[in-house]
Structure 1
């Protein structure tokens, strides 16, 4: 049996697509720690988003660098939930971590907005902000070491697709 590489996975997509739930479940399956990139935003970024103001690329630079360092530092592997909406953001996260894999949670606006509107106690605020994320979103290309997973299934189905796409066998 060949030795499997230590998994370093970024679960990505727009707000409300299921990154935290999927990331938590995936980390448990892979036996690695889970981190949520939302917890690494600066106070200024959180206040801006809570006010309904989308973040700029400049707002995200320090945050992305901190996350890239977290990925590099976790030698035993990890799963990180992070929007990583643009190719440049994913490149920044992967720059010092070339073996990092991406799981892109794909869904249409109405499905994700329906989920979003049921959320409570989250600083991400409003339909306009979700629309801005969809406008910013650059879906991962075939050269980006990414797996695209449709979010319309049950959490267990989504996890099964994630694991299969990452090369792990599992069935429910």
Structure 2
């Protein structure tokens, strides 16, 4: 069945649930999961730890590494913010069969989630504001838009059911 499954990008701002939903989708589909955060170079991690938002130049090489993961481990699921169309375009290089899941949530809900999270290098309300300022939401033609007010298990189940019925 995995030959029929496209690669899956789970995108959205920090704190929206990309890792949790992505892991569940990958587990249910029986394909590998990769957290995009694990591929940041140390310089990016250092910036974010200091509360400094990343810019396009910081993200470029990181996105190319994630694109390489998609190609090397196809099919797989990767959680990555992918905030702009240009970022998503980099992830689609030689990876045209990419299903995009956009975890959409309001600012206050996500800020509350981030404030409750410990042990993560993404720090501060300024960084979340920067992500929302950078975010160019995909249309419903470009992505499956999922409301994060639903629990992660329900979201993953919706995705897997849709993928199986499309196969």
Q: Place the TM-score, normalised by the shorter chain, in its bin.
A: over 0.9
For this pair of structures, how many residues does the alignment match? 165
Aligned Cα RMSD in Å? 1.6
Measured against aligned partners, the alpha-carbon deviations of 1:89-142 in whole angstroms (never above 9, x if no partner) come to: 001001210001110000000111111110000000001100110111111124
Q: 1:3 to 1:43 in 2, by over 3 A?
A: closer
| Larger fraction in helix | 2
Q: Following superposition of structure 1 onto structure 2, how do residues 1-172 of structure 1 map, counting pairs within 5 Å?
A: 5-75=4-74, 77-144=75-142, 146-164=143-161, 166-168=162-164
Q: 1:107 to 1:3 in 2, by over 3 A?
A: closer
Could you tell me the TM-score, scaled by structure 2's length? 0.93
Q: Secondary structure at the match of 1:167?
A: helix
Higher relative contact order, chain-length normalized (CA < 8 Å, sep 6+): 2
Could you tell me the TM-score, scaled by structure 1's length? 0.90
Deviation of the 1:7 alpha carbon: 2.8
C-alpha distance in 1 between matches for 2:59 and 2:14: 15
C-alpha distance in 2 between matches for 1:37 and 1:29: 19
| Contiguous gaps of at least 5 residues in structure 1 | none
